[in-house]
């Protein structure tokens, strides 16, 4: 019995994310992450962005670091961003190892990260 333990929920059969953000989405997400996470020190960062097809107001942003690492802040997390009513993208949550399924509306985290964890709270 899994009582008191985390449960992993996987999504393997259906592809429910877009591989590429639109140019406008990418500019807004990268601009926000560059200012907020890297404080402008992101010369070595390649942003990998997937937008949910379950709810296109949510995107997973991964950070791929490339040499040389000069003028660059390094990290190891991914972010889930949400588009506001005004059209700006803002970080909703971040994780370095696993995602809580309840960090966004039903199905969104699974659609972006392919799996998530349900915690007994």
Token duo for residue 78 = 């991914």
Which pLDDT score, from 0 to 100, does residue 58 have?
A: 94
pLDDT digits 0-9 by tens, 63-113 = 888 888 888 988 777 899 999 999 999 998 888 778 888 888 888 998 888
Instruction: Indicate whether 115 belongs to any domain.
Output: no
Average pLDDT, integer, range 19-47: 89
For 3, 9, 108, 114, 116, the CA distances from 12, given in Å and listed in that order, are: 25, 10, 14, 7, 12
CA 68 to chain centre: 24
Work out how many domains the chain is built from and give that number: 1
Q: Which domain holds residue 71?
A: 17-96
Instruction: Indicate whether 108 belongs to any domain.
Output: no
Instruction: Indicate whether 103 belongs to any domain.
Output: no
pLDDT digits 0-9 by tens, 35-59 = 988 999 999 999 989 999 899 999 9
Instruction: Indicate whether 3 belongs to any domain.
Output: no
Instruction: Indicate whether 74 belongs to any domain.
Output: yes
State how far the Cα of 53 lies from the Cα of 20, in Å rounded to an integer.
Answer: 11
State how far the Cα of 87 lies from the Cα of 13, in Å rounded to an integer.
Answer: 31
Residue 15 CB contacts under 8 Å (≥ 6 apart), including other chains: none
Instruction: Indicate whether 60 belongs to any domain.
Output: yes
* b/e burial code for range 16-38 (CB count within 10 A of at least 16 → b): bbbeebeeebbebbbebbeeebb
Instruction: Tell me if the pTM is above 0.85.
Output: no
Instruction: Indicate whether 31 belongs to any domain.
Output: yes
């Amino acid at each position: 019995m899994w009582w008191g333990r985390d449960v992993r929920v996987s999504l393997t059969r259906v592809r429910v994310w877009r591989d590429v953000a639109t140019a406008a989405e990418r500019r807004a997400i990268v601009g926000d992450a560059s200012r907020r996470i890297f404080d402008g020190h992101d010369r070595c960062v390649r942003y990998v962005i997937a937008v949910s097809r379950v709810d296109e107001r949510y995107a997973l942003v991964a950070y791929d670091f490339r040499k040389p690492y000069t003028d660059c802040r390094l990290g190891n997390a991914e972010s889930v961003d949400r588009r506001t009513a005004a059209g700006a993208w803002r970080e909703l949550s971040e994780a370095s190892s696993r995602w809580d399924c309840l960090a966004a509306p039903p199905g969104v985290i699974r659609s972006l990260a392919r799996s998530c964890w349900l915690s007994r709270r």
